[in-house]
Structure 1
Amino acid sequence: MISTEKTLLGKSLEELTHWVQQQGQPAYRGKQLHQWLYQKGARSLEEISVFPKLWRNQLGNYPVGRSKINYRIISPDATRKYLLSLDDGLIIEAVGIPTTKRLTVCVSSQVGCPIACDFCATGKRGYDRNLKTHEIVDQVLTVQEDFQRRVSHVVFMGMGEPLLNLEAVISAVKILNQDMHISQRSLTISTVGLPQKIIRLANHNLQVTFAVSLHASNQVLREKLIPSAISYPIKQLLEDCRQYIAITRRRVTFEYILLEGVNDLPKHAIELANHLRGFQSHVNLIPYNPIEEANYKRPNQQKTQNFMNVLQQHKIAVSVRYSRGLGANAACGQLQSSRLF
């Protein structure tokens, strides 16, 4: 099937070949266009010097599908946060997280987020719309261009709930894998969990890492932190995760943000362990990253360690993830597209 999306970014080699032929050009121009879009990150057709100049002039400003960097801020830990302007004037955030061995991009899947988690700046911001496939892929190209390094990992943990924009997210995953040659196992899709959506994702049988934002050890607490949880009992969520494992043969990662005095007590760790006993899973503990719009506090290192110790005593695989980018409001839960410092 040939895409009807006007922008060129987001199209496969087959679709780009079809497009150049529609313009009266030979088929091999499709491979050239594909290379310039996905390997060289072309922002306009004018940049593609292998194309005949006359044809480039005829095409004028045909949209490639790249965003503009509205603002960039660099955290003391070298993490970079980008505010990107889309064609309709809306702004999203992407984050580049470098280490000596890898460059990870945290991408947004929506403009804002409708889930409204109580501890999350994006949820406090509100929701505008889903992102299109090319708007997701563009974030990776933008970070890659700015760092002048190849992106090795992509996490769908930015603004938005990926499973509410599943079609575009799946399409972006395939482009990142097939056209930009990033291993599916280096891609992570994160969700708070939505009825029917986890099984739909599982049926695509991807080899991505799947992360579920659990954040609570019981249903009452989860509804307080994540309003949408009222329609998705934790028991059913975990059952769907077991089905995901059965279908994909891939383990599930459970994200658990630690909020001081709210969900970080030993009793909560025991409840969580009881839920996950025998599960093919891993728990990522994330000490809370403060935002102005909420009064939660981050537990100290000893409380975090105590929580992890309880899980380990119950034979639960667990690690602590200290978020990067705190100095630029670029850490987990801090993305909002209007707050820079």
Structure 2
Amino acid sequence: MRTIQADERPSAAASDRHIARPAGPSAAALSVEALRQVYGTQVALDGVSWQAEPGQAVCLLGHSGCGKTTLLRLVAGIEAPTAGRVLLDGEELSGPQRQVAPERRGIGLVFQDYALFPHLSVLANVMFGLRGGSPATRRAVALAALDRVGMQRHADGFPHTLSGGEQQRVALARALAPQPRVLLMDEPFSNLDRRLRDQVRDDTMDLLREAGTTTVIVTHDPEEALRIADRIVLLRQGRVEQTGAPEALYRHPASLFAARFFCDLNEIPGVCRAGQVETPLGRHAAPGLADGTAVRVCLRPQDIRLTAGAAAATGRLVDRVFLGEAEQLRVAVDGLAMPLRLRRPAAADLPPPGTAVGLAIAGDRVLVYPDAAAAPSPFPR
């Protein structure tokens, strides 16, 4: 059983997992310190701090308008911050003392729409970002970058002849050709259909891990962040809600907002009495909360199961939705305003709707939050 206080934030040391992959020879540590960005009366970022170690993949995660892209633009040098600093290996790139131009930062950027020049060939697009050296040298570097992403055979073609996945690979080659110390990617896979997106995303991350490139990726998709990140920075209205390794954020969300972001929850309102909350599913520990505190007891659908043995509660099966390898069940329980949602591997032995069923709960995965920490759920009801 775990109770989360509204202001609890796990330390970076406790949250981060060990990064096994080596950093590339040019990979750098990126630090963002107390960044603040104000546009007129609108505060886009308010004291945001996080860091990426050399060779690490960091995901900036959050809803639209939370400040993700603004952060990326500040790191890239496209904008100067109102306050705070951006540092690369301890060198200040943005801050009170200096503002280094984007082209002098050693930072690559892949835009959401790839931003390929339609009038230039694939090879010329990749060569565009290269500076110095002879034309023959730049051509050789660009061809090597295209070969690295499997696109050398398209070197003489033009962007309009390529699929979305192929354009993404060319944009990646263009960003990697100058050997940036850090690579920034703004929703790089969102324009691809789901099946292609999974393949291109896996191939891209394999390449970046092999190269040991420090990478910062903006995404609004929690599943994508869990899948590709070494570290997640979850943003909410211009502030860091929680940061740490993907498993830490999923298993130990620091707030109801964070818990809701990663999973559609069953939420049961209650009141803390003597360190416990009484619910129709039994009592749950709520240490550290004062008597009378309104709370939310939260259970993930996969942490509730049907049982023929000892049960925490009994209910009535409402319906079943077949999802292929999995299925979603709804079970009505006396005392709860809404049916509980359960998720389990698809089975053929499910009793018909209306059948009485027993429910077992993974007690160590129950989350309890003060109700004052509640935010509107990102999932439609």
| TM-score, reference length from structure 1 | 0.32
RCO comparison, higher one (Cα < 8 Å, 6+) = 2
Q: Which protein shows a greater Rg?
A: 2
